[in-house]
């Protein structure tokens, strides 16, 4: 299986705190993407980081990538209750298939 | 922006029947579409890749006779779950790739419940 792994599986924090989730993957990549999924809904693309990038920011999101360790992290700063969702990393194969990580379920307590 | 539409969003069917889920690219031609399956509280698992006008390529462990995929046009791919069983109950998501730039767009998903 090319599925990656994420940790923690579940994370519960207070509103205003930062949330960090990690992703490890197995194959060589051109880029890695992070998605958000609200319960029972489709995917929302958050951010893409290319293999030659080490860090990328988008609003309250900060993504890092370490290709030598085949790992990435997603940091959400100043979390809000509306950030409650599942977050998945995804790597894209040369055939354009997406292989998703196991996901982190984030709960932000108001 | 580009939109991928899935229909139906929710479907309940009886065991033993077949159910079809459609995935449409609304404002672009999708040379390739992908079907994913997601069980509750789990990740998305790629089931198959379908290219317009050719047979789908299934991932290991996915029964091609059970999950029939048709990609008859550049804007429509269908997934038919044949002889459905309760264990087929899941969330099915498609994605579509544009020919230019290889951008991928995801549908909103379809909930299948087999009773």
The per-residue pLDDT for range A51-67, each reduced to its tens digit, is 999 999 999 999 999 99
**Given this model, what pLDDT does residue B101 score?**
55
**Mean pLDDT score, A81-90:** 95
User: What does the DSSP 8-state code read for residue B86?
Assistant: G
As a whole number, mean pLDDT of residues B53-75 equals: 92
CB atoms within 10 A of CB A49: 21
| A42/B109 Cβ within 8 A | yes
Distance separating alpha carbons of residues A35 and A33, to the nearest angstrom: 7
Q: pLDDT tens for residues B79-113? A: 999 999 999 999 999 999 876 556 788 999 999 99
CB A28 within 8 A of CB A94: no
pLDDT value, residue B28: 87
pLDDT at A102 over 60: yes
Structure tokens at B13: 């069917």
Q: Over the stretch B19-44, which tens digit does the pLDDT of each residue have? A: 999 999 998 888 889 999 999 888 89
A→B interface, C-beta within 8 Å: 3, 40-43, 45, 88, 92, 95-103, 105
Q: What is the mean pLDDT of residues B67-72?
A: 92
Amino acid A49: pLDDT: 93
Average confidence (pLDDT) over A38-52? 89
Nearest partner of B93 among B77, B75, B72, judged by Cα = B77
What is the per-residue pLDDT for A6? 87
Closest CA to A63 of A80, A83, A77: A77
Higher pLDDT, B45 or A97: B45
SS3 A81: helix
Nearest to A96 among B93, B104, B108 (CB): B104
Average pLDDT for A44-56: 93
**Residue A30: what pLDDT?**
84
Mean pLDDT of A34-49: 90
User: Pick from B108, B105, B83, B115: which is nearest to B11 by CA?
Assistant: B115
Which pLDDT belongs to residue A8? 92
Question: How many of the other CB atoms lie within 10 Å of CB of A107?
Answer: 14
CB–CB contact A99 B111 (8 Å): no
**A34 and A87 in contact (C-beta within 8 Å)?**
yes
CB contact under 8 A, B46 and A97: yes
A96/B34 Cβ within 8 A: yes
Q: Distance between CA A86 and CA B91 in Å, rounded? A: 15
- The SS3 assignment for B87 reads helix
Distance CA A86, CA A106 (A): 6
Residue B63: how many CB atoms within 10 A of its CB?
10
Q: What residues in chain B have their Cβ under 8 A from chain A's Cβ atoms?
A: 32, 34, 36, 41-46, 49, 91, 93, 95, 97, 102, 104, 106-109, 111
Distance (Å) from the alpha carbon of A43 to chain B's nearest alpha carbon: 7
Cα distances from B86 to residues B83, B93, B110, B113, in angstroms, run 10, 18, 15, 7
Nearest to A88 among B43, B46, B102 (CB): B43
Q: Which residues of A touch B108 (CB under 8 A)?
A: 41-42
Determine whether the interchain pair B49/A105 forms a contact, defined as Cβ–Cβ distance below 8 Å: no
Distance in angstroms (rounded) separating the CA atoms of residues B91 and B76: 19
């Amino acid at each position: 299986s090319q599925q990656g792994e994420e940790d923690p599986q579940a994370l519960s924090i207070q509103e205003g705190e930062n949330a960090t989730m990690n992703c490890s993957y197995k194959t060589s990549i051109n880029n890695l993407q992070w998605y958000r999924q609200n319960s029972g809904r489709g995917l929302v693309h958050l951010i893409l980081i290319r293999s030659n990038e080490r860090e990328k920011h988008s609003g309250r999101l900060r993504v890092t990538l370490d290709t030598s360790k085949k790992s990435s992290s997603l940091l959400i700063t100043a979390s809000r209750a509306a950030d409650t969702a599942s977050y998945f990393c995804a790597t894209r194969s040369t055939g354009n298939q997406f292989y998703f990580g196991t996901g982190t379920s984030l709960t932000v307590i108001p | 922006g580009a939109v991928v539409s899935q229909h139906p969003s929710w479907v309940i069917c009886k065991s033993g029947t077949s159910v079809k889920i459609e995935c449409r690219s609304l404002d672009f031609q999708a040379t390739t579409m992908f079907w994913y399956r997601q069980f509750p509280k789990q990740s998305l698992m790629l089931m198959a890749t379908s290219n317009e006008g050719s047979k789908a390529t299934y991932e290991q462990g996915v029964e091609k006779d059970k999950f029939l995929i048709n990609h008859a046009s550049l804007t429509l791919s269908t997934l038919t779950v044949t002889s459905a069983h309760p264990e087929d109950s899941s969330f099915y998501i498609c994605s579509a790739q544009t020919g230019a730039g290889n951008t991928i767009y995801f549908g909103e998903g379809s909930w299948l419940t087999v009773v």
